[in-house]
Chains A and B, each alone.
Chain A
Amino acid sequence: MDSNYLINPFIRIAGYKSLLIGFAGLLLVSFISYITGTHFNGLLFVGFAKDSKFVYYFLEHIISWITIFTFLFLSGIILSKTKFRLIDVLGTTLLARLPLIIAPILRLLPYFQSFVFQSWEMYFIYGAYLLSAFWTIVLLFNAFKISCNLKNERLIISFAVSIILSEIITRLIINSITFKI
């Protein structure tokens, strides 16, 4: 497999195709998160607790995706000099979240279904999660770069600001929902 495909599949996949594959992936990640009790409170925070309905796990991913999409799309509107399509930003940012499936899948293994605090199992899961989060950020960066055709400092600064703001907003929304469910 072309290694470029792993960090920038958007050279070949965008639009409705990426949205469909991304949505199927989102359902799968949500389902495995639900059966393993893996919570994603934004992109950079993971927690483990089998305490909720499927819809809550699904909402965590949807909220995180819609928030980062909104910030990146607005950045594109403000900074890009080209006409870009909403569907490309929607689809590629959703597809970029696929690596987040790694930690929930690992938790399907008997070793990682329950573990004590500061055990090697815990560090392994967190290590795998950090790797998948880093991979997701690289994919999101390439999704933004290709969908909105931004370059250089405009691309890097607007992406960094979007990621930070979307993380804050996502956590606020998810926390407010937690108290209502």
Chain B
Amino acid sequence: MNKNLPLICPSCENLLKVKQLHCEQCETEITGLYSLPIMSRLAMDDQKFILDFIKASGSLKVMAQNMKLSYPTVRNRLDDIISSINKLGKNGQ
């Protein structure tokens, strides 16, 4: 089963943070308060786009061919993700 990482508090709709990390092998547990990295705060579709973009060696032309979309459509999608990252970066500070 593919579980999605919850990002928003279902009670107050605030952005969630990481409080506990766990090692499955040695059962070590780390407790603290950590912000989620910007990448993990993006929508799943956007995260997949970024991974595909890296796999395509950062070539929008290859991305466009793989996605069967036009070059400007793919470039606009990348621009939207950059804009989201910039917003998250500002909000995170």
Residues of chain A at the chain B interface (Cβ within 8 Å) = 10-15, 18, 81-82, 84-85, 88, 92, 146-147, 149
Within the complex, which residue of A15, A81, A82 is in contact with B70, where a contact is CB–CB below 8 Å?
A15
* Bound: A88/B79 CA distance, A: 16
Task: Tell me, in angstroms, the Cα distance from A94 to B71 when the chains sit together.
Answer: 17
Query: 8 new A-B pairs (CB below 8 Å) besides A11-B73, A82-B75?
Result: A10-B73, A11-B70, A14-B71, A15-B72, A81-B79, A84-B72, A88-B71, A146-B72
In the assembled complex, B69 has its CB within 8 A of some CB on chain A: yes
Q: Is the CB of B70 within 8 A of A149?
A: no
Residues of B at the A interface (CB closer than 8 Å) are 68-73, 75-76, 79
Q: Which of A14, A81, A85 contacts B73 (CB 8 A)?
A: A14
Most chain B beta-carbon neighbours within 10 Å: one of A81, A88, A92: A88
> How many angstroms from the CA of A15 to the CA of B73 in the assembled complex?
11
Q: What CA separation (Å) do A85 and B68 show in the bound complex?
A: 19
B72 touches A147 (CB 8 A): yes
| Chain A, residue nearest B82 (CB) | A82
Shortest Cβ distance from residue B73 to the other chain A in the assembled complex, whole angstroms: 5
How far is the CB of B2 from the nearest CB of chain A, in Å?
28
Chain B residues within 8 Å of A13, by CB: 70
| Chain A residues whose C-beta falls within 8 Å of the C-beta of B68 in the assembled complex | 12
By Cβ-Cβ distance, the 10 closest A-B pairs, closest first, are A14-B70, A149-B76, A88-B72, A146-B72, A11-B73, A82-B79, A14-B72, A147-B72, A12-B70, A15-B71
Q: How far is the CA of A31 from the CA of B72 in the complex (A)?
A: 31
Instruction: Check A149 against B72 for contact (C-beta < 8 Å).
Output: yes
* A residues near B75, Cβ cutoff 8 Å: 82, 84, 149
Q: Which of A12, A81, A92 contacts B69 (CB 8 A)?
A: A12
